[in-house]
Structures are given as structure tokens and as C-alpha cells.
Amino acid sequence: MRAARQAVDLLLRAENTWRFEDPQHGLSDQEWMVLRFLARANSFSRSPSALAQFVGTTRSAVSQLLKGLEAKGYVERRPSVEDKRSVSLRVTPQGDKMLTRDPIGPLVNAISALELGANNFRDALRDVLGRLGTNQHRHHADNCGECIFLSSASDPAKGKAQMEFTCRFFRSGINSAEMDLLCFKFEQRRLDRAGG
């Protein structure tokens, strides 16, 4: 238990990399959160309402954040391909350039350099959050691989090695590029607790 408490203390010390009072490189911590999310969000998650759900705030608060990012040229709106009445948010090339200065960059680099491996660290954190029931928390987005809504089948025309993926929530095919993107409707598959 002592080591677990120390681990939590250490996690809390990392918090100031993503939460801060004064803007960093001209953006607030929430603006960074929005820019970071949109850069990695799948097509279902690039709307103001999805963003409000991810950030854990109201549509009007998200609208203000988006206005600021659009005025700075980091984000733009386009008509959604699926539904012309909706908008799809996109990070501009200028926004991509800004993301190279993301305050969480050093944390990402430090995790990449871990001797135990970033994959193992990620899986351990995912396990911890799964035990906490992350559905009750904000900022809950992840990729399709661990989601209960993903179904897969092999395509006989392409051979066994070629799997076709479908999202049962959005009733849509998922291509390999989308598999690694963040989704606001992600729900964690039940974790195997054997031995735990």
C-alpha cells in the first residue's frame, strides 16, 4: 500500500504539465486540451458537442474556446461529410505547428524513454483507470482497440489476415487509420481480472 500511495503522490506532481493558471505559448490549459484532442480525434468526435463532452463543460464554454482557437488560426470548421447541417472541426497546419510546443511534450518524451516500456506503462494506467470506472470521469476518450462497440470479421475476399472492423455504436466501418484515433464514445471492454 505504501508504494501505491507514493505512486499517487508522484502522479499528482505531473499534473502541472497539463493544468496551469497562466497561458503557455499564448494558450490556456483548456485551449491546449481542445487542440490536442482535435488533432487526434476520429471523425465522430470532431464536433462541438463531442468536444464539450470530452472537456467536461457546456456547449457555450466550448464555443468560446473554439472562437479563441479559430481567431488564432489553429482550428477551422468545415461542413461535415456525413451530415452537411453539422460542422466538423479540424486543426489547421498552423495548429499542427503549435502542437510541437505542447506543454505535455516533455511528459510524452519521458514516458517514451521508460525502461519498462511505454506500452507497459500505458497498459498499467489503463488497468488502474478501468478499476476506477473511468466512464464516470471527464476526458474519457480512447481508441477503438479496447472499445466494447468494436466488432471484427475476416473478409473472405481478402484472406484471413485482412480483418474488417465495424463500430456497432455508430454503425460504420472503421479503417485502419481510424483505429488509433480518439473517440468520445469509447467504452472500455471488460478487463480480465484473472489473478488480480
Out of 44, 69, 91, 98, name the contact with ligand SF4 by CB under 6 A: 44
SS3 content of the chain, % helix, strand, coil (to 5): 45, 15, 40
Q: Nearest distance from residue 178's CB to ligand SF4, in Å?
A: 7
Residue 150 in the binding site for ligand SF4 (CB under 6 A): yes
Based on CB atoms, which residue is closest to ligand SF4, 92 or 188? 188
Side-chain-side CA neighbours of 161 within 13 Å: the count stands at 0
Q: How many residues bind ligand SF4 (CB under 6 A)?
A: 13
Q: Nearest distance from residue 50's CB to ligand SF4, in Å?
A: 10
* Distance from C-alpha of 164 to C-alpha of 107, rounded to nearest angstrom: 34
Here the cell at position 165 is 472492423
Residue 54 in the binding site for ligand SF4 (CB under 6 A): no
Based on CB atoms, which residue is closest to ligand SF4, 19 or 189? 189
* Distance from C-alpha of 185 to C-alpha of 167, rounded to nearest angstrom: 11
Residue 147 in the binding site for ligand SF4 (CB under 6 A): yes
The CA-atom distances, in angstroms, between 190 and each of 130, 185, 193 are 8, 16, 9
Based on CB atoms, which residue is closest to ligand SF4, 41 or 75? 41
Q: Nearest distance from residue 48's CB to ligand SF4, in Å?
A: 18
* Distance from C-alpha of 163 to C-alpha of 60, rounded to nearest angstrom: 41
Out of 24, 30, 185, 188, name the contact with ligand SF4 by CB under 6 A: 185
Residue 170 in the binding site for ligand SF4 (CB under 6 A): yes
Provide CB contacts within 8 A for 19, sequence distance 6+: 29
Q: Which residues form the interface with ligand SF4 (CB under 6 A)?
A: 42, 44, 144, 147, 149-150, 167, 169-170, 174, 183, 185-186
